Structure 1
């Protein structure tokens, strides 16, 4: 799997969420942005486990993604974050990311991987980014696919 292409495909999958009226669109990027326009989703760190099957058959990528909801009003930013972290609904990142798995028997992320799964949400707290504080959380996304590509 090509890490750069997978990063971008995860961001593209997140881009389909629909936030409540008046909030605007979710800004999504496959890399850590220099500056943040909230609400923002980005793919941050990656851990790579090679050779999950013999002969370079499968690698596993574990991505830490972050979503930063805002900083102007504690309560409203946390409500936006809650909607993004919910298991279902138009604003659900879980629902949006897992839709990119494709139908049963199809490759995930438009053919870039065999499968992906949003495993958990962690670190619901205030984050420092470029000198500003934002309420946010981390999402652990696991992607498996061909190790020889």
Structure 2
């Protein structure tokens, strides 16, 4: 698997999120940006475990992604963030990203991986990014795929 391509594919999948009326559209990147336009989702760090199956048959990557929301109004910012962290619904990042799993029997992320799973939310807190403060959280996303590609 090629981590940079997977990062971009995850960011592309997250763009399907539909935020409540009156909220700015979610911007996304497959990398840590210098500056963000909130609300913003990006794929940050990752861990890779090689050789989950013999002969480079399967690798496992766990991506830490972040979603940051402007804190102009603390309560409304946290409501928007909560909508994006929900397990389902039009604003759910989990639902949008896992839609990229493909149909049964198809590879995930347009053929880049065998499967993916949004495992958990963590780090719900205030974040400072390039001098600005946002309310945000991290999502852990596990991706499995062929190690030799």
TM-score interval, normalised by the smaller of the two chains:
over 0.9
Q: How many residues align?
A: 149
Q: Which whole-Å CA distance do the structure 1 matches of 2:23 and 2:32 have between them?
A: 22
Where does residue 16 of structure 1 map in the other structure? 16
CA distance in structure 1 between the partners assigned to 2:141 and 2:22 by the alignment: 29
Q: How big is the shift at 1:16?
A: 0.4
TM-score after normalising by structure 1: 0.99
Unaligned 5+ runs, structure 1: none
Write the mapping of 1:96-115 to structure 2, written as runs, cut at 5 A. Answer: 96-115=96-115
Q: Could you list the structure 1 runs, at least 4 aligned residues long, displaced by more than 3 angstroms after superposition.
A: none
Q: Match for residue 34 of structure 2? A: 34
What's the counterpart of residue 76 of structure 1? 76
Partners of 1:48 and 1:75 in 2: how far apart?
A: 37
1:67-90 deviations in whole A, cap 9, x for unaligned? 001121111110110000011110
Is residue 2:122 matched to residue 1:122? Answer: yes
Corresponding position of 2:51? 51
Equivalent residue number for residue 91 of structure 1: 91
Task: Tell me the distance in 2 between the aligned counterparts of 1:101 and 1:74.
Answer: 34
